[in-house]
Amino acid sequence: MVGNRLYNTDGMPFERKISNACSTFIVSLMSGIKVEDSQCGYRAIKRWILERATLLSKKYEIESELIVEAARMGAKIAFIKIPTIYRGKSYFHPIVDTLRFLWFVLTYFPKRWFLK
């Protein structure tokens, strides 16, 4: 289960709206399912998924990788609407985290192919 904040983006900073929409579209293509919000940290994950997933990412992009891996394993992924709430300091770094996400996208399938 993954939270979906994108059904109502009131209160979400403009740059987040753009980056979330773009990353969600790309993760949808990579996973083969319609992803509603790839960057929401609100998640409940079945134990078998965590035990079987081979996650290569370490930071921000791991949220996307987990969705792609779970979909690849045939897990059913449900999205639930949650409010968009921003409190306190954000740990999102627009340039660095966007570059890390792009690196994840470019290297995901080659890494999987070589690690089989």
In the chain, where are the structural domains located?
2-110
Give the 3-state secondary structure of residue 4.
strand
Q: What is the pLDDT of residues 32-80, one digit of tens each?
A: 999 999 999 899 999 999 999 989 888 889 999 999 999 999 999 999 9
Residue 116: is its pLDDT beyond 70?
no
CB 66 within 8 A of CB 31: no
- Which residues on adjacent β-strands are paired with residue 80? 3
- Residue 56: which residues within 8 A CB-CB, separation 6 or more? 65, 111, 115
pLDDT at 102: 93
pLDDT at 33: 97
pLDDT at 114: 75
- pTM for this model (two decimals): 0.87
Within 10 Å of residue 79's Cβ, how many Cβ atoms? Answer: 17
Which of 20, 16, 94, 10 minimizes the C-alpha distance to 64? 20
From residue 36, give the alpha-carbon distance in Å to each of 26, 62, 114, 116: 11, 16, 30, 29
